[in-house]
Amino acid sequence: MKKSKITKNYASILLVLFVIGLLLTDTLSTAYAAEYQTIADLNGKKIGVQTGCLYETHIADKCPDAEIQYFTMPQDMILALNSQKIDAYLIEEVGYYATAAAHPELAAMKESAGLCEAAVIIGNNEKQEKLLAQVNEFIANHGSNGDGMLDEMYTYWVKNFDAETSKTEQGGFTGENGELTIACEGGYEPFSYVNEDGDSGYDVDFVYRFCREYGYTPNIQRVAFESIAPGAESGKDDIGMNIILSDERDANACLSDVYYSCDIFMVVPGQNDEQAGFFERMKDNFENTFIKESRWKLFASGAGITLLITLSSIILGTIIGFAVFMLCRKGNPILNGATNAMLWLIQGMPTVLLLMILYYIIFGSTRLSGTLVAIVGFTMIFACAMYDMLSVGFGAIGNGQYEAATAMGYSNNQSFFKILLPQAAKHFLPIYKGEVVTLIKETSVAGYIAIQDLTKISDLVRARTYQAFFALIFTAVIYFVISGILTRVVGMVEKKLDPQSRSVEQILEGIKVEE
C-alpha cells in the first residue's frame, strides 16, 4: 500500500511538472521579439534547414560560422524556433506564406537569402526518356512562355492559398498509357498535403494535370522529402516532385526544366501581441488534430498499418527464427556459419538503413509495396532476435535434462517439445516480451519507405496544423496501448508454458506408469 501511494505521488508530481513545462515553453516561445535585421547578423548562430533543400549553400558567404541544423519537415523548424533551439530557419517564399497566418509570431527578413528553383526528377527506369520529354513539353506549353497555366496555378496555390478552400480536382484519368508512381512529400502545404478529398497541393495539381493530358493514372506515394530522389534514382518511382536544383544534382540526376522558382526567406522570431489563452489554444489544437476534416480517421488508419506490420513481423519472425534454430541446433557447420553471418549483417545494421536498402535496392526494380517491404525487413530483424533468444534459453538447460528424457522413453522431438522447450521458455519469454516492445517502437521509422504508419500520419497531421502537442502525445499513447496489449498476451503464454504451473497429469502425459 505504501509503495502504491509513493508511486501515485511521483505520478502526480510528474504531471504537475509536465503542465508547468508546457506553460513555460508556451510563454518562452512568444515572449521575445526579433533581434536580427540582416542575414549577416546570424553568423555564428543556429540556423535550421530542411534536409535535402541545400538552402544553406546560399548563405555560406554571409554566415560562414553558422551552425546548420537539419530538420525533416518545415513544422519541426517552426517548433524549434519557437522553443529557442534555433535562432532562425531558411524556407522558400511559398512555404513561409503558407504558414504565416497560423504563426503570426514569426517574421521573414526583407533581405532575400537566394533563389529557389525546383524541377521534377524522372525515375531511372524504362520510362525515363519518354517521361522527361513529356514533362519538359508540359512545362514549356503551360509555363510563362506558353498558355500561362502554371502561372495561374502558382497564383492559386501560393499567392492566394487557403487551406480551407484550395482544392485539387480529383479523377478524370484515362490511364491508356499506364500508371505513374509519383513521390511527393505529402506533408508540406501548399505543395503536397492530405485533406478530406485526398492528396492535394501545387505539386499534386501539377502531376494530376500532366497525367490527364498524357493519358496516365497517378499513384501518389507520400514519402519523406529526403527519400524522393533515392526513390527515383532506384527506379522505384517514375516521378519525384520538388527537387531543388544544384549543379551537382543536375549533373548526376535526370531532372526536368524548372517548373517554379521563388525567393528563399530567412525566418526569425517576430512579435505577436495577440495571444489566446493556454486552454483556448489546447482546445483549438485538439479540434485541428482530430475533429477537423475527420483527421481521427487518419490516425485510425495509421494505427492499423502499424498493427499489421508489427503482428505480421512478430508471427513470421517467430516462425522463421524457430525453424532456423531447429535446423542449426544439431551443429551443422555450414548452416551455423551462414546463420551467424546473417545475424551479424542484420543486427549490425541500423533499422532505417536496412529498410531503405530493401526498398530502394533489393526490391527497387519491383512494384512491391512499402508495407510488404517493411514486413520483410522487420521479420528479418525479429527472426534474428528469436534465434538469439532460443539460443540463450536452451543454453541455460543442462544436458542432463535431455538424457533424463531419453531414459524415460521420449523420442528426440518429444524431448525437445515436452521437456526442454517448456524449461527454455521460462528463460527466453521475458526477453521475448522486451523484443516485442522494441519491434513496435522500431516500426515508427517505416514512413521512410512510403508507408502511412502511425508516426507518418502524425507527421502529416502536424504538417497541416503546425501544432504538435496532441498529435505526438496521442501517437505515444497508441504505441503504449499496443505494447501493453501484446506484452500481456506474451505474459499469458509465458504463464501457460511455465513448468511449475503444470499439473502432474500434464507432466506425465504420454508416459507409461507401472502400478
| Residue-wise pLDDT tens digits, 56-105 | 999 999 999 999 999 988 888 988 898 889 999 999 888 888 777 778 88
In a domain, residue 100? The reply is: no
Range scoring the smallest mean pLDDT among 161-165, 208-212, 503-507: 503-507
| Start-to-end Cα distance in the chain | 51
Residues 232 and 134 in one domain: yes
Number of domains in the chain: 3
> Could you tell me if 262 and 327 lie in one domain?
no
Q: Is 105 within the bounds of a domain?
A: no
Highest mean predicted confidence (pLDDT) among 29-33, 89-93, 94-98, 331-335: 89-93
**pLDDT at residue 209 above 90?**
yes
Would you state the pLDDT for residue 32? 41
The CATH number for 352's domain is: 1.10.3720.10
Average pLDDT over residues 397-417: 74
Report, as an integer, the average pLDDT of 236-261: 88
Mean pLDDT of the chain: 84
Over 80: is that where the pLDDT of 178 sits?
yes
Beta-carbon neighbour count of residue 142 at 10 Å?
Answer: 21
User: Who has greater pLDDT, 485 or 276?
Assistant: 485
Q: Do 218 and 131 fall within a single domain?
A: yes
Give yes or no: residues 262 and 299 share one domain: no
**236 in a structural domain:** yes
pLDDT digit string (tens) for 343-399?
999 989 999 999 989 988 888 778 788 899 999 999 999 999 999 999 888 887 877
Please choose, from the candidates 267, 260, 268, 269, the residue with its C-alpha nearest in 3D space to the C-alpha of residue 115. Answer: 260
With H, G, I as helix, E, B as strand and everything else as coil, classify residue 263.
Answer: strand
For the stretch 97-139, pLDDT in tens is 877 777 888 889 989 999 989 999 999 999 999 999 999 999 9
423 & 488 share domain: yes
| Residues 242 and 335 occupy one common structural domain | no
Same-domain status, 218 and 299:
no
- Choice among 46-50, 87-91, 509-513 with the minimum mean pLDDT: 509-513
- pLDDT value at position 10? 47
Task: Kindly state whether residues 262 and 330 are assigned to the same domain.
Answer: no
In a domain, 278, yes or no: no
Q: Do 220 and 300 fall into the same domain?
A: no
**Residues 374, 239 share a domain:** no
Residues 135 and 242 placed together within one structural domain of the fold: yes
Name the nearest CA neighbour of 233 among 364, 351, 72.
Answer: 364
In order, the DSSP letters of 54-111 are -GGGGGTTT-TT-EEEEESSHHHHHHHHHTTSSSEEEEEHHHHHHHHTT-TTEEE-SS
Check pLDDT > 50 for residue 50. Answer: yes
pLDDT of residue 5: 47
User: Given pLDDT bands bounded at 50, 70 and 90, which one contains residue 310?
Assistant: very high
Decide if 39 is inside a domain: no
Q: In the chain, what percentage of residues exceed pLDDT 70?
A: 88
pLDDT higher than 90, residue 22: no
Q: Residue 236 — φ and ψ, nearest 5°?
A: -65, -40
Asked if pLDDT for residue 460 goes beyond 90, the answer is no
Do 130 and 264 lie in a common domain? yes
| 146, pLDDT greater than 80 | yes
What range does the domain containing 204 cover? 115-268
Residue 433 above 60 pLDDT?
Answer: yes
Residue pair 44/66 in contact by the 8 Å Cβ criterion: yes
CATH number of 123's domain: 3.40.190
Indicate whether 358 belongs to any domain: yes
Distance of CA 271 to the CA centre of its chain: 33
Res 30: pLDDT: 41
Indicate if the pLDDT at residue 35 is higher than 80.
Answer: no
pLDDT at 8: 47
Specify if 283 maps to a domain. no
Instruction: Give yes or no for a cis peptide into 230 (omega within 30° of 0).
Output: no
Would you call 122 helix, strand, or coil by DSSP? Answer: strand
Task: Check residue 141 and give its pLDDT.
Answer: 95
Residues 6+ apart with CB under 8 A from 85: 46, 69
Q: Can you give the pLDDT at residue 407?
A: 73
Distance, CA of 305 to CA of 313 (rounded, Å)? 12
Strand partners of residue 69: 48
Q: Is residue 36 part of a domain?
A: no
Domain boundary among 201, 234, 268: 268
